[in-house]
Structure 1
Amino acid sequence: MHPLTLAISLHFSLEPLWHDTGLPLAIMGMFIVFVALVLVSTFISKLPHIMALLDKYLPQAEQLLIPPKPRGEEIPDEVIAVIAAAVSEALGKPHRIIHTRELTSREMAWPQQGRWEIHASHKPHN
């Protein structure tokens, strides 16, 4: 029997790095990405000025919202009694209502987002 010989020939060269698919292509790709990032960040920083110009030349249409209630309008005693009963039932001990006010649309953003996420998480049954 002849002993098995294994010959491995390795040739290492940096030449492929300088051809079409090497280092120049990688540098060009990074350049394009950085230019795009600069353009996006510039647009975002100038967006308030752009919106101010748009508001000047294209004013918003009249909004059809329900007018807010006057500040002096109070909640009826019956409604406060129902709120106190609901709080007492939910917490298991009596509570006294000291102050009531309606929530603004800004304060309602989180509850609305939560309801939207709950509704979006359910898939309708066919």
Structure 2
Amino acid sequence: MISSFLHPLTLGISLNFSLEPLWHDTGIPLALMGMFIVFFALIFISMFISRLPHIMAVLDKYLPQAEQLLNPPKPREGEISDEVIAVIAAAVSEALGKPHRIIHTRELTSRDMAWPQQGRWQIQTSHIPQK
């Protein structure tokens, strides 16, 4: 059985194997050029990222509004920020099913919270714990 594998098969096919195509247009020189381009691009990207803080410092001199966009003014004491008002408007619109406009906002005081606190107290004390 092993001896049958050692005999060459004659099917009339001749194979010519050569490493010569690897050295022409589509072989190793093309692969090396591709690797060179990739490494050059990676070096360029890493140099750009390392210089980015300096580039941003120069841009801040010519574009001072960019700092104002990144750091918006803080709302005054007792005021609600625009972002919170936008979230409240979205929540109201979602809850009611149609868009609404917020006209006035203010923080609740302890006087405003008296009725809800009393209601919670009554609900929580209405049950007698069993021993």
Larger Rg: 2
Answer 1 or 2: which has greater helix percent: 2
